[in-house]
Amino acid sequence: MTDIVVLGAGISGHTAALHLARLLGRRSTRGQHTVTVVSPNSHWNWIPSNIWVGVGKMGRDDVVFPLEPVYERKGIDFRQAKAVALRPEGDGEDHRGAVDIVYTGQGRVGQEERLRYDYLVNATGPRLRFEATEGLGPDGHSLSVCTADHAVEAARELDEVVQRLRAGQEQTLVVGMGHGTCTCEGAAFEYVFNVDHVLRDAGVRDLATLYYLTNEASLGDFGVDGMTFEDQGFQTSSELWTASLFRERGVLPILGAHVERVEEGVVHYETLDGSHHSLDFDFAMLLPPFGGVGLAAYDGQGGDITDELFAPSGFMRVDADYTAKPYEDWRAADWPETYQVPVWDNIFAVGIAFAPPHPISRPRKSSSGTVIAPSPPRTGMPSGVMGKTVALTIVDRIRSGPSAQPHRASMANMGAACVASAGAGLRTGSAAAMTMMPVVPDYSRYPTGRSLRDTRGEIGLGGHWVKLMLHYLFIHKAKGRPGWFLIPE
Amino acid sequence: MTNPSPPAPDNPQPVADLTGAPLPTEGTLRRRRSVPFQLTRFAVFNARIMRMVLKGSH
């Protein structure tokens, strides 16, 4: 009998759970193996489409669906609860690993339970650290599109801006990153161009000033140190390619910025040269920095071993090289391959939950010492791949014994497609569609860090169709509908 | 499509200088909106994703 517990039901955790259930067989034929998903949320959210919810092009119900019916159909146990503590060595009653959870739904809010596991997949995703910047977030003075509910609120506020513009009032809109260490610059990039598209559709763009406020030191960095493309016989940078779009659409970029504080209608920020600025706004969508969810860890005697399992950021340490070293010494080989936790090889961390060895973009500090450095993205396509990889490892170990070799999927040997919507509409939409291979540049294999053949970028209506297709394909996949496993992660 | 939105002069912001960035020509903008041309790009982009999936650790 093997009990597998998956913490989190985002892209990586949900993918892992679906593949585990598929590979181990349906509940009736699976024998004694159990797959249990623990998630504080009752619904799954296709987060990439929150951008369209945030401009009113999609509704909340277009991007979320309830998890329980899917898990019921797939023979997966579901606990609507949040994990609070790991016990890799168990406790006085049972030496198997255990995880303490507190229910957030299913009529058991606040109740605690200790789940035993043979294998644990930590896919808890990020904690949205709005508190890192004073006044940031929906409970402060800015908006977010990180959750479907946040996006609905952003769409409502944007609609009010459009009404004021129609009445002839000039408006200033700010979209970007709410802290110097944020990740997901691609999402802010998408949102700013979708806002631009909405304002043009409404015929009010000329009265609006639209800023893109980012921690990236240069446009097109996207937290992956930028990309080099081959275009008509020349090598060009994602910086020039992206700057062209900003110039064409009249969006004003402010680079290398750390937001210090957000007040009602004013954002205060510092830039890399150490200068401080204030920007008045009528609408601000600023993403928060991410952190780990704050799990504690205890050994068999109840001693605190949180620092052994987790980095100070709260993300879980896995098989990466965490030796501190300068940017020039970073190597692709520093990145994890198996996502196993050292010492406890029955614990894995995938998606945003694993601690990256270092950023991908060159880290910078302002002249006054403020860290302004994009954190590495590990969402979307890589998250799904990691989830499937650890599911394959666990299934092999159940079938062949604990010495079975783990499957490997390093972000330094994994490609990703980033389709950044620049406006919705079947005939009028647009997107900046990029592929990069690998995600983490490997200068020992490629002079530009990435394969020029597979690292491409193009802008156009076709990119919008790709993003729309991915929306429907991945919701089909996440619902476990026929043939779901044939759709690549 | 070009529509610069200059910041209010009484509150200047450190906006990046984009004057060196290339602007797309009318032909490029037309191709970006052309349904037949974009259908081809759609197919090519999907083929590229599949190539990446088959080639990398996916």
In-domain check, residue B46: yes
Q: What is the pLDDT of residue A95?
A: 92
Tell me, yes or no, whether A171 and A285 share the same domain.
yes
- B38 contacts A465? CB cut-off 8 A: yes
Place of tokens 């799904």: A384
* Number of residues in chain B: 58
pLDDT computed for residue A264 by the predictor = 97
- Does residue A423 register a pLDDT over 90? no
The answer to whether position B14 is within a domain reads no
CATH code (residue A170): 3.50.50.100
Instruction: Give the lowest-confidence range in A14-23, A374-383, A455-464.
Output: A374-383
- pLDDT interval class at A6 (50, 70, 90): very high
Report the pLDDT value the prediction gives residue B30, as an integer from 0 to 100: 94
Per-residue model confidence (pLDDT) at position A184 = 86
Note whether residue A50 is domain-resident.
yes
Give yes or no: residues A179 and A260 share one domain: yes
Position A180 confidence tier, pLDDT thresholds 50, 70, 90? very high
Q: How far is A300 from chain B (nearest CA, A)?
A: 36
Question: Which of the pair, A393 or B8, is modelled with greater confidence?
Answer: A393
Position A318 scores a pLDDT of 97
Question: Which residues 6+ apart lie within 8 Å of B6 measured at CB?
Answer: A209, A252
Q: For chain A, what is the domain count?
A: 2
Tokens 């010494």 locate to: A329
The confidence score (pLDDT) of residue B1 equals 52
Give the structural domain span for A177: 130-289+413-486
Residues A151 and A274 in one domain: yes
Q: Is residue A370 part of a domain?
A: no
Mean per-residue pLDDT, A221-240: 92
Q: What would the pLDDT profile of A250-274 be if each residue is shown by its tens digit?
A: 999 999 999 999 999 999 999 999 9
In a domain, B39, yes or no: yes
| B44 within some domain | yes
Residue environment code for A231-247, b if the CB has 16+ CB neighbours within 10 A, otherwise e:
eeeeebbbbbbbbbbbb
Do residues A145 and A262 both lie within one domain? yes
Residue A420 has a pLDDT of: 84
List the domain range (segments joined by +) for residue B48: 34-58
Q: With beta carbons less than 8 A apart as the criterion, state whether A424 and A59 touch.
A: no
Q: A162, A150, A124: which is closest to A37 by C-alpha?
A: A124
Of residues B40, B46, B57, nearest to A410 (C-beta):
B57
Q: Which of B13, B14, B57 sits opposite A413 (nearest CB)?
A: B57
Nearest chain B residue to A204 by CA distance is B3
Which residues 469-488 on chain A approach chain B with CB closer than 8 angstroms? 469, 488
Residue-wise pLDDT tens digits, A88-130: 999 989 999 999 999 999 999 999 999 999 999 999 999 999 9
- A285 and A141 co-located in one domain: yes
How far is residue A467 CA from its own chain's centroid? 16
Residue A31 scores a pLDDT above 80: no
Task: Give the number of residues written for chain A.
Answer: 489
ipTM of the complex: 0.88
Facing residue for A254 by CB, picked from B14, B35, B50: B14
pLDDT at A27: 64
pLDDT value, residue A115: 98
In this predicted structure, the answer to whether residue A293 has a pLDDT above a threshold of 70 is yes
Q: Are strands A347-349 and A119-122 parallel, antiparallel or unpaired?
A: parallel
pLDDT, tens digit, 9 for 90 and up, residues A45-88? 999 999 999 999 999 999 999 999 999 999 999 999 999 999 99
The predicted structure's pLDDT at residue B6 = 58
Structural contact between residues A355 and A161, judged by C-beta atoms closer than 8 angstroms: no
Q: What was the pLDDT predicted at A379?
A: 77
To test the contact with chain A by mutation, choose from B49, B51, B53, B54 the residue with the greatest count of A C-beta atoms within 10 A, namely B49
Confidence of residue B8 (pLDDT cuts 50, 70, 90): low
Report the domain count for chain B.
1
User: With b meaning 16 or more CB within 10 Å and e meaning fewer, what string describes B10-46?
Assistant: eeebbbbebeebeebeeeebebbeeeeebeebbeebb
Give the mean pLDDT of A275-298.
96
Q: How high is the pLDDT of residue B58?
A: 63
- DSSP letters of A454-486? T-EEEEEHHHHHHHHHHHHHHHHHHTT-TTGGG
Report the amino acid identity of residue A164: R
**Quick one: A142 and A280 in the same domain?**
yes
A296 and A279 fall within a common domain: no
Q: Is the pLDDT at A201 greater than 90, yes or no? A: yes
**A186 shares its domain with A63:** no
